[in-house]
Amino acid sequence: MKKWCLNFKMMFLTMALLVATSCGKEPKLPEIPGVKGPLFNLLDGKVMVTVKLLKANLNIGAKVPIPKTKASYFEVSPNLEDGGTLVVFYLDVDDLKDMNIGIGDANTLPDGRPIPGVPGGTLEGSLRADTELLDMSFYFHKSLFGFYIPLGWNTNGFGGYWNVVINSKNIGLLGAVASDDQGHGAGFILFLKLDQLKDRQVQKMIELSKRNPHIMY
């Protein structure tokens, strides 16, 4: 996969946002080089998460069920608007809520590096499903759902992590995983808190979305 370099401006932005986060502010989601999003919507009763990978060029598209789920899936297609690849996840909240994980395993990133935002970097009692499409990995946990996409660029050790805040609620973590001196490239990671997706207000919107198909909220 083609590698991209993180320029000085992005390094400065990353450091500034990390300082803002540590001061207790709610930073807006940053622009990660080569990535646009995630954008959150509701469509047909599902939580829709859209990510644009501007430097990943696929000439084909596909609709693929999310592993371990019954009604959740994601679509990958060429991004006609900005170039690159468009990845859209359609998450059925009941699907994720009712999943039987069992005892689960202790999981890290696929390359063995720690998962950001998780104490010790290992997500205990979880399932990880690795796929061949974009080498994407999915994480399933009793309180979290997440995915990781390796991007391959060299960030000279710089990365950044931010709370995803919608309507003053922290619904998860967005991260640009840094490259390292062991040859691991950067990656994009998103974890969502399932309890926030089960919030009463969110559930009302989901029910409204079910009653009004094909309308995006």
Q: Computed over its alpha carbons, how large is the radius of gyration of the chain? A: 17
Cis before 38 (ω within 30): yes
Render each residue's pLDDT in the chain as its tens digit; 217 residues: 333 333 333 333 333 333 333 333 334 555 677 788 888 889 999 999 999 988 888 777 899 999 989 999 999 999 888 888 999 999 998 888 777 777 889 999 999 999 988 889 999 999 999 998 889 999 999 899 999 999 888 878 788 888 887 767 788 888 889 888 888 888 999 999 988 887 888 888 889 999 999 999 8
Query: Is residue 215 domain-resident?
Result: no
pLDDT tens profile 83-99 = 889 999 999 988 887 77
Query: Is residue 193 domain-resident?
Result: yes
Query: Is residue 2 domain-resident?
Result: no
Query: Is residue 217 domain-resident?
Result: no
Pairing assessment for the beta strands 169-177 and 160-166 based on DSSP bridges: antiparallel
Query: Is residue 1 domain-resident?
Result: no
Which residue bears the tokens 């950044």?
Answer: 160
- In contact, 143 and 123? CB cutoff 8 Å: no
Range of the domain at 186: 8-95+106-210
pTM: 0.80
User: How many separate domains does the chain show?
Assistant: 1
Query: Is residue 3 domain-resident?
Result: no
Query: Is residue 143 domain-resident?
Result: yes
- Euclidean distance between CA atoms 16 and 138, whole angstroms: 30
Which residues make beta-bridge pairs with 83?
none
Residue 109, burial from CB neighbour count under 10 angstroms (0-12, 13-18, 19+): buried
Under DSSP, is residue 3 helix (H, G, I), strand (E, B) or coil? Answer: coil
Which residues make beta-bridge pairs with 78?
85
Query: Is residue 76 domain-resident?
Result: yes
